[in-house]
């Protein structure tokens, strides 16, 4: 079964209506993984026996007339930075591949399990989720199903590739600097970074970068994301940033009219954008305007690139977790870029950290001035084109680490933001738009994503696998 051909609502309705069993859906996902993941490398561990047992229990509950949840029978992959009961959380690191399996789920995974999801296994991620492409020593590189010469992006690249190839209909991701939005953009998916606290990241273990990171579901379409949000959003007392519930049925509210005015900023005022990506984005913006969306162009949103301040937070989070490894033999086993972040954070002074917090305020203040004119800001999802399996992404043919500059600042301000695919590039990979909303205006972002998806009508599929 190619899960790209079905919405989550269709799949759940068929399971609850006994047109197909949860076990059959799960077996189909397992068959897809067995047939195709050897090439894509989206999953780093799978437990078929346990997955089928979970599915059988859901089917039994349906037969008995018991409540099975709004995602009943949906097979999912869990990003390998997050605990799922019975699976090792390796963090994509040699240092943890032999850890004991988790004895409980994270809050996100537990909520998805409670709503009827079947946990298939863990999806690949760069070591400790530290970069925008997915590769690591123990599990290797995750390839992009649109063109296998390219990376799936990161750090939720395993989940993105599994979705983009049709192997699964739903998965989990996390986003501390673009780690949902970047792989979603490269995978032709609808990807949502919620407001911080919308989906809690609490529990007994402090989050890796609590000032930046959100967790959430990943899916093919905005409507699927909204249904998954129904299953996962809501407060938890162990998350100090947890937001109170808005008492929304996200999937129903999604059908209301989307905002009709938006700001378009092609460079945000600080970045060079790949010419081919910019051309595709401008064509999509013209389509929105022709459909009646009032577009207000603003060249400058932020006066300077926020990446340097973002790196202060990221480096300090890396140091907090791994600085004890410096001057040990294990330190050399860590990805070189991650070692750079650890050493940077270890040598950071408090004044620099406080300055980065000040930058969050400054960036947020500047954003809110624009939201007085329009409820949304639209940018390219990425400045550059996807990296190949080795190296960085590309802007106008030149390799550069500055190919994802548009996502990181939004983590600093905690605004919601989503990405949608708009067109295919010459590489065969999708180009995507990023849609940013005001503080806690997740619903505005979702409505816009859903409406813009319909207007732009991107309906392409990755060409791999060919024979699901």
Residues with catalytic roles: 79, 155, 179
Pairing of strands 417-424, 430-437: antiparallel
What is the rounded CA–CA span in Å between residue 165 and residue 192?
19
The answer to whether 147 touches 428, Cβ cutoff 8 Å, is yes
The answer to whether 348 touches 235, Cβ cutoff 8 Å, is no
Contacts of 180 (CB under 8 A, 6+ apart): 156, 173, 174, 191, 192, 193, 214, 216, 218
Sign of CA dihedral 55, 79, 384, 436: positive
DSSP 281-333: HHHHHHHHHHTT-EEEE-S-SSSS-THHHHHHHHHHHHHHHHGGGTTSGGGGG
Closest CA to 257 of 423, 440, 454, 422: 454
The answer to whether 184 touches 160, Cβ cutoff 8 Å, is yes
Contacts of 250 (CB under 8 A, 6+ apart): 226, 227, 229, 230, 233, 443, 446
């Amino acid at each position: 079964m190619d899960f790209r051909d079905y919405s989550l609502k269709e799949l759940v309705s068929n399971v609850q209506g006994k047109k197909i069993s949860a076990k059959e859906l799960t077996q189909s996902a397992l068959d897809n993984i067995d047939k195709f993941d050897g090439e894509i490398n989206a999953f780093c561990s799978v437990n078929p026996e346990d997955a089928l047992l979970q599915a059988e229990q859901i089917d039994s509950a349906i037969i008995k007339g018991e409540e099975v949840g709004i995602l009943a029978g949906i097979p999912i992959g869990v990003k390998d930075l997050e605990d799922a009961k019975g699976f090792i959380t390796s963090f994509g690191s040699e240092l943890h591949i032999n850890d004991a399996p988790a004895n409980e789920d994270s809050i996100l995974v537990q909520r998805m399990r409670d709503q009827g999801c079947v946990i298939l296994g863990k999806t690949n991620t760069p070591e400790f989720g530290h970069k925008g492409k997915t590769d690591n020593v123990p599990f290797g590189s995750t390839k992009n199903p649109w063109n296998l010469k390219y990376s799936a992006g990161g750090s939720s690249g395993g989940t993105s590739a599994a979705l983009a190839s049709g192997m699964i209909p739903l998965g989990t991701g996390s986003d501390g600097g673009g780690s949902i939005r970047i792989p979603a953009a490269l995978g032709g998916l609808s990807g949502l970074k919620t407001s911080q606290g919308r989906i809690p990241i609490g529990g007994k273990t402090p989050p890796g970068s609590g000032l930046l990171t959100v967790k959430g579901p990943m899916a093919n379409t905005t409507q699927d994301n909204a249904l998954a949000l129904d299953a996962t959003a809501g407060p938890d007392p162990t998350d100090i940033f947890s937001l109170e519930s808005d008492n929304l049925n996200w999937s129903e509210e999604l059908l209301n009219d989307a905002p009709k005015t938006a700001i378009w900023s092609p460079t945000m005022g600080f970045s060079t954008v790949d010419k081919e990506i910019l051309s595709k984005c401008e064509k999509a913006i013209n389509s929105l305007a022709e459909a009646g969306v009032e577009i207000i162009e603003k060249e400058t949103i932020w006066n300077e690139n926020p990446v340097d301040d973002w790196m202060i937070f990221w480096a300090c989070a890396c140091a907090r977790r791994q600085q004890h490894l410096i001057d040990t033999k294990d330190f050399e086993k860590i990805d070189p870029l991650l070692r750079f972040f650890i050493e940077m954070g270890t040598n950071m002074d408090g004044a620099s950290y406080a300055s980065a917090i000040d930058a969050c305020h400054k960036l947020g203040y500047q954003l809110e001035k624009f939201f007085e004119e329009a409820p949304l800001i639209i940018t390219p999802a990425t400045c550059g084109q996807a990296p190949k399996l080795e190296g960085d992404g590309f802007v106008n043919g030149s390799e550069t680490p500055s190919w994802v500059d548009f996502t990181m600042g939004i983590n600093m301000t905690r605004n919601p933001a989503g990405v949608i695919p708009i067109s295919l590039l010459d590489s065969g990979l999708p180009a995507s738009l990023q849609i940013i909303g005001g503080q806690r205006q997740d619903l505005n972002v979702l409505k816009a994503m859903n409406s813009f998806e319909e207007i732009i009508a991107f309906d392409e599929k990755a060409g791999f696998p060919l024979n699901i």
